[in-house]
Structure 1
Amino acid sequence: MEAGKNIAIKVPLYVWEDTVAFYRDKVGLPVTRELENSTGFAFGSMTLWIDRIPHQSQVDVWIELFDDDPDAALTRLGSARRDELEPLTDVTGHWTSDPAGTVILLRKEQMASPG
């Protein structure tokens, strides 16, 4: 198992714009991608996503772990499968969490297509 390439801070609607501005303007992280409800920043070798969550009242941090066999890794961790959290499109893996409640995307790393 190894660290993935993404970390997400799930932010309530009322502080989303200020949080994006903080990382962009005060911290000085370069914006790498902008979506309707998410802004991605270069964060070392990772992407830091600031996600706008309209019906959330507190901040959550979500992380990503890679494993060649996500099903076996989930069993090794002894963590509950939490795939209801967000749809996993074109991803081999599962949502789970650590004992403190930090959400983890445990997935197989997709290899770049040749060509």
Structure 2
Amino acid sequence: MLRPGRNIAIKVPLHRWDETLAFYRDKVGLEVIRTFDKSVSFRFGEMTLWLDRVDHQSQVDVWLELFTDDPTGALTKLGSPKRDELEPLDGVTGHWTSDPAGTVLLIRKEG
């Protein structure tokens, strides 16, 4: 069984970073939780919205998180490709994959 996670990531190209960050922080008025070198997290209701700067990307991607007790079984059930090369999964039990439209999904155990 899959259920929504707590994180949404928007992968933002370098040429759109400053205006996108200002949009969510200043115009939308979201509360900044943490700031890193290439990433800023915002409180987004009960979720966390991450803006991640991607220096060598030309378009925006949205990445979603899903929880399950069996990430490998869920990947098989979905029939989705394993895409673990996308980002390191340090300390996370799960897999990167994507839906048919190309939206990146992190299917992981909670905790």
What SS class does the counterpart of residue 58 from structure 1 fall into? Answer: coil
Question: Offset at 1:93?
Answer: 0.1
Q: 1:113 — aligned with what?
A: none
Gapped runs of 5+ residues in structure 2?
A: none
Question: Offset at 1:28?
Answer: 0.4
Q: 1:66 — aligned with what?
A: 67
Question: Offset at 1:50?
Answer: 0.5
2:33 equivalent to 1:32: yes
The total of aligned residue pairs comes to: 110
2:8 equivalent to 1:3: no
Q: 1:95 — aligned with what?
A: 96
What SS class does the counterpart of residue 100 from structure 2 fall into? Answer: coil
Q: Percent identity?
A: 69
Note the alpha carbon deviations across 1:62-97, whole angstroms, 9 max, x for none.
000000010100011010100000010000000000
User: Letter of the aligned partner of 1:17 in structure 2?
Assistant: D
Gapped runs of 5+ residues in structure 1?
A: 111-115
Q: Distance in 2 between matches of 1:86 and 1:31?
A: 23
2:39 equivalent to 1:44: no
Question: Offset at 1:14?
Answer: 1.0
**Off by >4 Å, runs of 4+ in structure 1:** none
Note the alpha carbon deviations across 1:36-81, whole angstroms, 9 max, x for none.
0000000011000010000000000000000001010001101010
What SS class does the counterpart of residue 29 from structure 1 fall into? Answer: coil
Question: Offset at 1:22?
Answer: 0.4
Q: Distance in 2 between matches of 1:17 and 1:46?
A: 23
Question: Offset at 1:107?
Answer: 0.2
Q: Distance in 1 between matches of 2:21 and 2:58?
A: 17
Question: Offset at 1:18?
Answer: 1.0
Q: Distance in 2 between matches of 1:73 and 1:95?
A: 11
